[in-house]
């Protein structure tokens, strides 16, 4: 049961929902940059949400399926052969190309039955900075052979046969994309960071007023944001040292050069740079869907609003999952 | 014992701040609180991270209350039940370090800056007893306090693009051991043959917050022997 990698794409890694509970050892949870799209991709092929899938970034891979497989690609819209947000039956011997992203930056390719990958520290996610997890701790390369779990071809045939609304090798319906931002600049909600007060009032305003562009120098650890330089209030004694402390997914830290960095899935667990803001958890997957060059702006919100946004996203995800489950007759 | 403030760290975490400056007593309180919160094993808590001046508590997305309120209630309960004594947190570790010039990339420079001979720098570093104040920056990367003030040097103006894994380095009043070959601005004065972080090990991180650390000087032969076994 294998998939052969003919072309790896820009950055294709194995990801699941990450490894939690190890931040005190300096290890961030990592996992899918857009966990909502990963959950949908898994649901579309009948997998439990925690199953590992391929995270595809900006330029997709070309794959040779050596056995029957039921697959789904969810998240960003890519050119190429695979229909978006739908389960698709791929017969043994097929080649499929996921082209270039036309909207969004990341998609998840899930296979019914799941990839045969050993968990490391409780997760199958690839942690690139540490070189472990996922497929040999690295991004996929030309010639790699991904093994699927033993019964995945049978599972794929049986699941596809049980689906409602089949037409040809796919279905007539699709799951809604929940994290694809519609128009730019993309609005991201933030709450004040721990060091908000440490920034000059003009920089606080600039942070909220400016349109920021995702820098090409961005990766799974963090997105650099191009815009006005942000300045700190200098203390009376001239010191501007911040005591190094814990960070979180979505923290916006500002190193001394004044260029903010939004911390993403593979972020450092602590940092010595002041954090001007924290992007709310419901908006982080939408940020993850932006490629370098895309623009964002920030709006301050309360913790209550952040919780509402979080619950709203969760409800929309659950509605989509119920719809998919219904199509599987469960 | 009472936190100065509890601030949101996004909507799924809160930071319990005791101090904005480094104070060893405060750091000890942070470590004791972190140990207590972890031991309480509240199902809503995903991660507990002790920083130099406070503790971050990360929650599952399904929490109903605001993160700071939840953190406050958990902290209050831990304080009521009593925090574990500092002595019970962490282990006593002896870390072999080879201070040979081959590994001690910045020893000469540190000697010049501190106006000590390289031998004295090594002796002072090796004689110290250290305490892991925080783990961060990279998996297993331990910030240790207890460096002899005579060895205080600022961070290097230009960070090295790649500091070899296992490098033992100093800056200001702390010492660190680099777990991976990563970029860093601390002055490298030796190297340990031990694997600092190994995801395949049952206990992946060599260091934990609160560990008491001593360094044992070893020769190159022993370094190579231990490295071969690790």
What's the complex ipTM? 0.95
Per-residue pLDDT tens over the stretch B159-193 = 888 999 999 999 999 999 999 998 888 999 999 99
Are B199 and A248 within 8 A, CB to CB? no
| Dist CA A88 CA A45 (whole Å) | 8
For the packed helices B107-114 and B118-127, what is the interaxial angle rounded to 10 degrees?
90
Please state, in angstroms and rounded to a whole number, the distance separating the CA atoms of residues A175 and B150: 64
Q: Quote the pLDDT of residue A238.
A: 47
> Contact A3/A63 with Cβ under 8 angstroms?
yes
How far is residue A284's CA from residue A266's CA, in Å, rounded to a whole number?
Answer: 13
Collapsing DSSP to helix, strand or coil, A312 comes out as helix
* Nearest CB to B11 within list A25, A243, A307: A307
Q: How many CB pairs under 8 A join A and B?
A: 146
Give the best residue of A17, A19, A26, A304 to mutate against chain B (max B CB count within 10 A): A26
The conformational region for residue A46 under phi > 0 = left, psi -120 to 50 = alpha, else beta, is left
C-beta atoms of B136 and A26 within 8 A: yes
A9 touches chain B (CB under 8 A): no
- A279-322 pLDDT, tens digit per residue, is 999 999 999 999 999 999 999 999 999 999 999 999 999 999 99
The token pair at B15 is: 């930071």
- Confirm or reject contact between A25 and chain B (CB < 8 A): yes
Contacts 24+ apart (CB under 8 A), A171-174: A171/A86, A171/A87, A171/A327, A173/A86, A173/A323, A173/A327, A174/A83, A174/A84, A174/A85, A174/A86
The shortest C-alpha distance from B147 to chain A (Å) reads 18
Phi/psi-derived region of residue A133, left when phi > 0, alpha when psi is between -120 and 50, beta in every other case? left
Q: Which has the closest alpha carbon to A263: A201, A190, A330?
A: A190
Q: Is the pLDDT of residue A237 over 60?
A: no
In angstroms, what separates the C-alpha of B53 from chain A's closest C-alpha? 7
Burial zone of B179 (CB within 10 Å; 0-12 exposed, 13-18 middle, 19+ buried): buried
The confidence band for B1, taking pLDDT boundaries of 50, 70 and 90, is confident
Q: Facing residues of A108 across strands?
A: A55, A74
Say how far apart CA B185 and CA B155 lie, in whole Å.
6
- Give how far Cα B138 sits from Cα of A224, A266, B14, Å: 19, 10, 21
* pLDDT tier for residue A131 given thresholds of 50, 70 and 90: very high
DSSP result, A211-223: PEEE-SS--SSEE
User: How far is A306 from chain B, CA to nearest CA, in Å?
Assistant: 6
- Distance of residue A93 Cα from the nearest chain B Cα, in angstroms: 35
Of A20, A24, A194, the CB nearest to B34: A24
A271 forms bridges with which residues in the sheet?
A245
A117 to chain B, any CB pair closer than 8 A? The answer is no
Average pLDDT score over residue span B112-123: 96
Task: Specify whether the CB–CB gap between B90 and B212 falls below 8 A.
Answer: yes
Share of chain B above pLDDT 90, in %: 88
Say how far residue B144 (Cα) sits from the centre of its chain.
5
Q: What is the pLDDT of residues A89-106, one digit of tens each?
A: 999 999 999 999 999 999
Mean pLDDT score, A143-164: 95
pLDDT value at position A329? 86
For tokens 């500091």, what's the residue? B163
């Amino acid at each position: 049961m294998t998939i052969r990698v003919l072309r790896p794409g820009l950055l294709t890694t194995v990801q699941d929902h990450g490894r939690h509970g190890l931040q005190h050892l300096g290890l961030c949870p990592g996992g899918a940059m857009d966990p909502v799209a990963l959950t949908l991709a898994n649901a579309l092929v009948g997998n439990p949400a925690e199953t590992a899938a391929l995270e595809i970034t900006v330029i997709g891979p070309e794959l040779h399926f050596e056995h029957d497989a039921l697959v789904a690609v969810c998240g960003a819209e890519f050119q190429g052969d695979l229909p978006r947000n739908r389960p698709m039956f791929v017969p043994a011997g097929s080649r499929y190309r996921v082209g270039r992203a036309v909207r969004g930056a990341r998609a998840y390719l899930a296979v019914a039955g799941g990839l045969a990958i050993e968990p490391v520290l409780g997760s199958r996610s690839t942690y690139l900075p540490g070189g472990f997890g996922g497929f040999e701790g690295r991004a996929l390369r030309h010639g790699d052979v991904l093994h699927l779990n033993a019964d995945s071809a049978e599972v794929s045939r049986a699941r596809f046969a049980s689906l409602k609304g089949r037409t040809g090798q796919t279905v007539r319906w699709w799951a809604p994309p929940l994290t694809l931002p519609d128009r730019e600049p993309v609005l991201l909600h933030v709450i004040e960071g721990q060091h908000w007060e440490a920034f000059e009032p003009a920089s606080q305003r600039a942070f909220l007023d400016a349109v920021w562009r995702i820098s090409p120098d961005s990766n799974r650890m963090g997105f650099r944001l191009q815009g006005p330089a942000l300045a700190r209030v200098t203390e009376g004694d001239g010191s501007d040292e911040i005591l190094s402390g814990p960070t979180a997914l979505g923290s916006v830290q500002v190193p001394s050069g004044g260029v903010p960095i939004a911390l993403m899935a593979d972020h450092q667990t602590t940092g010595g740079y002041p954090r001007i803001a924290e992007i709310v958890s419901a908006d982080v997957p939408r940020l993850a869907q932006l490629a370098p060059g895309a623009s964002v702006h920030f709006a301050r919100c309360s913790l209550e609003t952040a919780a509402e946004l979080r619950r709203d996203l969760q409800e929309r995800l659950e509605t989509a999952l119920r719809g998919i489950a219904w199509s599987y007759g469960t | 014992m009472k936190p100065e403030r509890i601030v949101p760290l996004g909507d799924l975490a809160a930071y319990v701040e005791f101090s904005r400056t480094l104070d060893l007593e405060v750091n000890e309180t942070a470590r004791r609180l972190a140990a207590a919160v972890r031991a309480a094993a509240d199902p809503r808590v995903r991660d507990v991270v002790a920083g130099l001046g406070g503790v971050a508590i990360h929650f599952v997305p399904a929490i109903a209350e605001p993160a700071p309120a939840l953190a406050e209630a958990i902290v209050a309960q831990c304080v009521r039940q009593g925090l574990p004594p500092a002595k019970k947190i962490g282990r006593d570790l002896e870390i072999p370090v080879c201070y040979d010039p081959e590994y001690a990339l910045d020893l000469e420079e540190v000697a010049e800056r501190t106006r000590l001979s390289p031998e004295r720098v090594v002796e002072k570093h090796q004689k110290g007893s250290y305490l892991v104040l925080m783990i961060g920056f990279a998996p297993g990367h331990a910030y240790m306090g207890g460096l002899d003030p005579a060895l205080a040097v600022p961070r290097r103006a230009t960070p090295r693009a790649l500091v070899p894994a296992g490098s033992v380095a100093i800056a200001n009043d702390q010492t660190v051991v680099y777990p991976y070959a990563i970029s860093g601005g601390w002055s490298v004065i030796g190297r340990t043959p031990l694997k600092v972080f190994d995801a395949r090990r049952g206990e992946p991180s060599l260091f934990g917050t609160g560990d008491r650390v001593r360094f044992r000087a070893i020769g190159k032969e022993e370094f190579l022997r231990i490295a071969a076994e690790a």
